[in-house]
C-alpha cells in the first residue's frame, strides 16, 4: 500500500481554504493543523477531551498528555504544541460552549458526540478530495510534519519523540526524501 502523500505549503493552504468553506470551519481547520503542526494521529485527535487541551485557567496547554488508551500501541505520550498551533486552537476553543473538560474536544455534527478514528479518517478524506489532492489521506499531515522537520535538520531521535515512535526505522519511513534534500546535503560539504 502506498504511503500518504506529503503536502507542500501551497497544498496545505488549499485544503485549509476548503475547510474554511464548511459549516464547521474552525473545527476542521484546528483538526487539520493538529496533524500538520503537532504530528498527531487521527485516532489521537478523535480521543481528545477538552481537558486534555485546555487548562483550568482556560488557556491552551503547552503540551497534551495522552493516556495509553488515547494512543496507538497502548503507551501514553506527550504531544508538544507550538505557539502557532496554540493560537489556532485558542480560536477554536472560543467557539466551544460549554467547556466541560470531559467532553470531546472535537465535536461531530451531532454536537454532543466526538468523532471516532474511522469517521475522522473519512472526514479528512472528504476534505482532501474536495481540495483535489490525490494521494492525500488522514495520515498526510503526520507525514508532512515529520518530513518538514527532517528537512529543517531536526534529528531522527527528536522526530521519534515527537511522533511517539519506539523504533527509529518507523520514523525514517515517514520521511519523504526529495530532490531538494539531496541537493542541500551535497552542498553542506
- Sign (positive/negative) of CA torsion 171, 144, 26, 82? positive
- β-pairing, 63-66 vs 77-80, is antiparallel
Q: By three-state DSSP, how is residue 66 classified?
A: strand
Residue ranges for the chain with pLDDT beneath 50: none
* Interval 15-48: pLDDT, tens: 999 999 999 999 999 999 999 999 999 999 999 9
Question: By the 8 A CB rule, do 64 and 52 touch?
Answer: yes
Prediction pTM value = 0.87
pLDDT at 84: 97
Class of 1-189 in CATH: mainly alpha
Q: Where are the domains of the chain?
A: 1-189
pLDDT at 96: 87
Amino acid at each position: 500500500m502506498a504511503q500518504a502523500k506529503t503536502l507542500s505549503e501551497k497544498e496545505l493552504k488549499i485544503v485549509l481554504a476548503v475547510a474554511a468553506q464548511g459549516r464547521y470551519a474552525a473545527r476542521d481547520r484546528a483538526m487539520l493543523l493538529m496533524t500538520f503542526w503537532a504530528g498527531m494521529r487521527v485516532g489521537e485527535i478523535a480521543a481528545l477531551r477538552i481537558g486534555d487541551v485546555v487548562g483550568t485557567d482556560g488557556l491552551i496547554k503547552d503540551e497534551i498528555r495522552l493516556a495509553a488508551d488515547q494512543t496507538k500501541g497502548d503507551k501514553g505520550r506527550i504531544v508538544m504544541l507550538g505557539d502557532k498551533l496554540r493560537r489556532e486552537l485558542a480560536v477554536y476553543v472560543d467557539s466551544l460552549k460549554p467547556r466541560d473538560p470531559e467532553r470531546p474536544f472535537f465535536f461531530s455534527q451531532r454536537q454532543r458526540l466526538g468523532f471516532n478514528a474511522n469517521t475522522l479518517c473519512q472526514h479528512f478524506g472528504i476534505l482532501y478530495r474536495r481540495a483535489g489532492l490525490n494521494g492525500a489521506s488522514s495520515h498526510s499531515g503526520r507525514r508532512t510534519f515529520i518530513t518538514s522537520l527532517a528537512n529543517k535538520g531536526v534529528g531522527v531521535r527528536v522526530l521519534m519523540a515527537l511522533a511517539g515512535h519506539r523504533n527509529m526505522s518507523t520514523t525514517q519511513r515517514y520521511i519523504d526524501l526529495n530532490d531538494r534534500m539531496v541537493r542541500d546535503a551535497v552542498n553542506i560539504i
